[in-house]
Amino acid sequence: MQGPGIELMEVVNQVRAFDTPQGVYDCSWSENHGQQLVSSCADGSVKLWHLQTRDQFPIQNYHEHKQEVSGVNWNVVAKDSFASASWDGSVKIWKPEVPHSVLTLAEHSSAVYNAVWNTQNNSLVASCSGDGTVKIWDLNSARSVTTIAAHGNEVLALDWNKYNQFEVVSGSADCSIKVWVGL
């Protein structure tokens, strides 16, 4: 690419590839280990990968969800754990060094599409679901502290505002994006 005073070279090299038996729905880099990433799969598994291993196998292979796992996200504050969201209606919290989930959150009545950590408070996770709700979870009490009847259809996407820990945005199959504050 070229522009006035700018010349960019396009160089793309594949560093590593991992094969999975089922489709991959999401993947996320570790927040504290640049060579690790986690993936969510159509077979209900969550896999932790290390780029420097010589084989094709994950360093952890978690099989606790009963249906597809649609989203995975690392804790951006504590950096020591990640969340998975599944079509089985649950959110699970994991620590890489533990061979099983450390917490299961299961109050949604339909598939959970994503679970995202608050950007300033490592005990808060938001999740969105096919039941039309957004839930805010307090991991210290292992229950939802806020349930928002957010949309008239499936809530497919959400994210915390990185600059305001009390604000979340949701996107839905009802063709709308909504911003929520005061959580």
pLDDT, tens digit (0-9, with 9 covering 90-100), for 156-176: 999 999 999 999 999 999 999
User: For 8-32, what is each residue's pLDDT tens digit?
Assistant: 667 787 778 888 888 999 999 999 9
pLDDT at 112: 99
CA angle 152, 88, 65 (to 5 degrees): 150
Q: Would you say 69 and 46 are in contact if contact means Cβ atoms under 8 Å apart?
A: yes
CA distance linking residue 86 with residue 164, whole number of Å: 27
Mean pLDDT estimate for the chain: 93
Sign of the C-alpha dihedral computed for residues 21, 27, 33 and 34 taken in this order: positive
How confident is the model over 116-129, as pLDDT tens digits? 999 999 999 999 99
Q: What's the predicted TM-score (pTM) here?
A: 0.90
Residue ranges of alpha helices (H) inside the chain are none
Quote the percentage of the chain above a pLDDT of 70: 95
Q: Is 21 helix (H, G, I), strand (E, B) or coil?
A: coil
Count Cβ atoms below 10 Å from residue 43 Cβ, excluding itself: 14
Three-point CA angle 25, 50, 44, nearest 5°: 30
The pLDDT, as a whole number, for residue 8 is 62
φ, ψ for residue 151, nearest 5 deg: -145, 165
Residue 111 backbone class (left: φ over 0; alpha: ψ -120 to 50; beta: rest): beta
Domains defined along the chain, listed by start: 27-181 (2.130.10.10)
Separation CA 4–CA 101 (nearest Å): 53
Closest CA to 71 of 54, 50, 94: 94
Kindly report which listed range (8-12, 29-33, 68-72, 144-148) carries the lowest average pLDDT score. 8-12
Residue type, 8: L
Q: Give the model's confidence band at 48: pLDDT under 50 very low, under 70 low, under 90 confident, else very high.
A: very high
